């Protein structure tokens, strides 16, 4: 018996499969050729998948790739050596100690993406959902991820920041970003209030792999109504302890 399917859904899945599990990136032209579809159709599909957080688009190279947002669709199937699995017990401990939601975020291009969360058990809480994507430059976790940008990427960072200022999306100067990054490196953690949402604050610390490269950030989010200086400092120190424990586990595993 013939099975009825939705052509648009089938084509969207074909787009995702074209990236071979995230091992390659492709331009729009390359995608059209691989899928044997016209440019208009592929453009609509890629725009939708980028909007839904399943693809990422690099505006400079004009290449598309699989987004870490896809992890939210298969968290239960991911292998034991994933960053999320290393972080999970430490996120839960941070959540239980502070009473607030704890999350692991990674950098993807000029965005930060949530890959794992231990939600607060309080009635009034703020939870970052896996797959959630926001601009890299804002929030405590964003500051941590920016602080780990390699020197070779700094020209691109300043260019993107200038474009964001010109578009009126952010008013962060290069000096402000340098100052924030320096605070993360010197203090080991940082905090922010109301930068990407007016009703939330947070504290975060960077996670580093066995080579010392920043590969993520542990963030603890707090509703602004109870985000006192004392609580944010406690959350910041707890985030730093969790991040250091994850980093130590990665070092042991040589990841």
Mean pLDDT of 166-170: 88
Same domain as 244, residue 131? yes
In a domain, 2, yes or no: no
58 pLDDT exceeds 50? yes
Predicted local distance difference test score (pLDDT) of residue 88:
95
61 pLDDT exceeds 60? yes
Same domain as 204, residue 82? yes
Mean pLDDT of 49-66: 90
Same domain as 91, residue 59? no
Range of the domain at 229: 72-252
Structure-token match 């120190």, residue found: 237
Count of structural domains within the chain: 2
In a domain, 131, yes or no: yes
**pLDDT tens-digit map of 107-132:** 988 999 999 999 999 999 999 888 88
- Of 69-73, 98-102, 130-134, 163-167, the least confident: 69-73
Residue 227 near residue 199, CB atoms below 8 Å: no
pTM for this entry: 0.76
Predicted local distance difference test score (pLDDT) of residue 4:
66
Predicted local distance difference test score (pLDDT) of residue 38:
92
Same domain as 83, residue 42? no
Same domain as 124, residue 47? no
70 pLDDT exceeds 90? no
In a domain, 191, yes or no: yes
Nearest to 235 by CA among 205, 199, 215, 207: 205
Predicted local distance difference test score (pLDDT) of residue 77:
56
Per the model's pLDDT, the better-predicted residue between 208 and 10 turns out to be 208
3 pLDDT exceeds 60? no
Residue 198 per-residue DSSP state:
T
Cβ contacts of 12 within 8 Å, gap of 6 or more: 45, 48, 49
Q: Can you tell me the distance from the alpha carbon of 197 to that of 91, in angstroms, rounded to the nearest whole number? A: 22
1 pLDDT exceeds 50? no
Q: In the beta sheet, which residues pair with residue 193?
A: 201
Residues written for the chain: 255
Same domain as 105, residue 44? no
First to last CA, the chain: 49
Mean pLDDT of 156-164: 92
Q: Is 141 in a helix, a strand, or coil?
A: helix
Nearest to 61 by CA among 5, 112, 110: 110
Same domain as 225, residue 125? yes
Per the model's pLDDT, the better-predicted residue between 204 and 56 turns out to be 204
Same domain as 207, residue 95? yes
- Of 134-138, 189-193, 234-238, the least confident: 134-138
Mean pLDDT of 155-159: 93
**pLDDT tens-digit map of 72-110:** 777 655 554 589 999 999 999 999 999 999 999 999 889
- Of 63-77, 108-122, 240-254, the least confident: 63-77
In a domain, 242, yes or no: yes
Same domain as 48, residue 76? no
Same domain as 78, residue 62? no
Q: In percent, how much of the chain has pLDDT > 90?
A: 67
In a domain, 1, yes or no: no
- Give Cα separations from 170 to 144, 177, 183 (angstroms): 18, 12, 20
Q: Can you tell me the distance from the alpha carbon of 159 to that of 152, in angstroms, rounded to the nearest whole number? A: 13
- Of 48, 66, 84, the residue that ends a domain is 66
Q: Can you tell me the distance from the alpha carbon of 213 to that of 236, in angstroms, rounded to the nearest whole number? A: 20
Structure-token match 């699989």, residue found: 66
In a domain, 182, yes or no: yes
In a domain, 198, yes or no: yes
- Of 51, 66, 81, the residue that ends a domain is 66
Which pairs count as long-range contacts for 108-111, CB under 8 Å and 24+ apart, including other chains?
A: 108/56, 108/67, 108/68, 108/133, 109/56, 109/57, 109/58, 109/136, 110/135, 110/136, 110/137, 110/160, 111/56, 111/135, 111/136
Q: What is the CATH number of the domain that holds 47?
A: 1.10.10.10
**pLDDT tens-digit map of 30-45:** 999 999 999 999 999 9
Same domain as 61, residue 76? no
Same domain as 107, residue 160? yes
Q: Can you tell me the distance from the alpha carbon of 48 to that of 158, in angstroms, rounded to the nearest whole number? A: 28
Q: Can you tell me the distance from the alpha carbon of 239 to that of 168, in angstroms, rounded to the nearest whole number? A: 32
143 pLDDT exceeds 90? yes
Q: Can you tell me the distance from the alpha carbon of 32 to that of 73, in angstroms, rounded to the nearest whole number? A: 25
Q: What is the CATH number of the domain that holds 146?
A: 3.30.450.40
In a domain, 211, yes or no: yes
148 pLDDT exceeds 70? yes
């Amino acid at each position: 018996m013939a099975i009825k399917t939705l052509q648009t859904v089938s084509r969207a899945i074909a787009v995702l499969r074209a990236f071979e599990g995230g091992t390659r990136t492709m331009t729009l032209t390359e995608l059209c050729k691989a899928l044997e579809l016209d440019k208009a159709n592929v453009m609509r599909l890629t725009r939708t998948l980028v909007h839904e957080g399943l693809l990422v688009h690099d505006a400079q190279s004009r290449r598309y790739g699989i987004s870490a947002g896809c992890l939210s669709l298969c968290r239960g199937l991911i292998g034991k050596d994933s960053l999320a699995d290393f972080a999970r017990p430490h996120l839960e401990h941070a959540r239980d100690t502070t009473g607030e939601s704890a999350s692991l975020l990674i950098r993807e291009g000029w965005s930060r993406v949530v890959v794992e969360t231990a939600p607060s058990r309080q009635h009034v809480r703020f939870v970052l959902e896996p797959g959630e994507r926001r601009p890299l430059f804002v929030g405590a976790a964003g500051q941590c991820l920016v602080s780990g940008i390699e020197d070779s990427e700094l020209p691109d960072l300043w260019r993107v920041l200038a474009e964001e200022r010109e578009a009126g999306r952010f008013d962060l100067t290069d000096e402000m970003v340098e100052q924030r990054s320096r605070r993360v490196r010197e203090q080991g953690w940082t905090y922010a209030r109301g930068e990407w949402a007016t009703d939330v604050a947070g504290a975060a610390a960077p996670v580093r792999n066995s080579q010392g490269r920043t590969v993520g950030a542990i963030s603890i989010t707090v509703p602004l109504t109870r985000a006192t200086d004392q609580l944010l400092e406690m959350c910041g120190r707890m985030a730093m302890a969790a991040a250091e424990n994850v980093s130590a586990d990665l070092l042991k595993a040589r990841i």
